[in-house]
């Protein structure tokens, strides 16, 4: 038995009490649509990235008339934001970021595919992998 005295206050993890401290679905969607525009994604590609069943439902999300995003959809949007942030870490890199996403890469994990194609074909695991890759390597040159 440990007779060591406890020092300091007890750590209690609680969700943020202020609504503004939590990202809202509207805020997440707004950021997603800005990134989708920067990446020049078609409505079908946007549906695949967010796991939305159809472009009609996507349009309802765009208009704020759809249900809240699921946890996995929010994770997908957050990973896209992380990728975009890594690609555009310095001002004036948006064209290079677009080129990096759309240009085929020989090395792993892409094996000759573009990062965007790799993400679209492999879903959430690919989003995670590309986000980790960019964080480890820093912004592509």
Q: What is the pLDDT of residue 42?
A: 96
> By residue range, what is the domain housing residue 114?
24-137
Does residue 108 or residue 119 have the better pLDDT?
Answer: 119
Give the count of domains, the chain: 1
In a domain, 17, yes or no: no
pTM for the whole thing?
0.77
In a domain, 44, yes or no: yes
In a domain, 7, yes or no: no
Q: What is the pLDDT of residue 137?
A: 81
Contact 49, 80 (CB under 8 A): yes
- The Cα 35–Cα 138 span in angstroms is 19
Per-residue pLDDT of 51-105, as tens digits, reads 999 999 999 999 988 888 999 999 999 999 999 999 987 766 778 888 999 999 9
Buried b (16+ CB within 10 A) or exposed e, 76-110: bbbbbbbbbebbbeeeebeeebbebbeeeeeeeeb
In a domain, 109, yes or no: yes
Per-residue pLDDT of 19-30, as tens digits, reads 444 456 788 899
Query: Helix (H, G, I), strand (E, B), or coil: what is residue 22?
Result: coil
pLDDT band at 112 (very low <50, low <70, confident <90, very high): very high
């Amino acid at each position: 038995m440990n007779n060591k005295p406890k020092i300091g206050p007890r750590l209690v993890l609680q969700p943020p009490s202020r609504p503004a401290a939590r990202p809202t679905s509207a805020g997440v969607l707004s950021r997603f649509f800005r990134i989708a525009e920067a990446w020049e994604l078609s409505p079908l590609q946007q549906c695949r990235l967010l796991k939305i069943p159809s472009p009609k439902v996507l349009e309802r999300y765009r208009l704020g008339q759809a249900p809240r995003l699921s946890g996995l959809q929010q994770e997908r949007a957050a990973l896209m934001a992380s990728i975009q942030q890594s690609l555009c870490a310095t001002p004036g890199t948006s064209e290079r970021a677009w080129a990096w996403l759309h240009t085929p890469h020989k090395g792993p994990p892409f094996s000759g595919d573009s990062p965007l194609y790799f993400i679209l074909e492999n879903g959430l695991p690919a989003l995670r992998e590309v986000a980790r890759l960019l964080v480890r390597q820093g912004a592509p040159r």
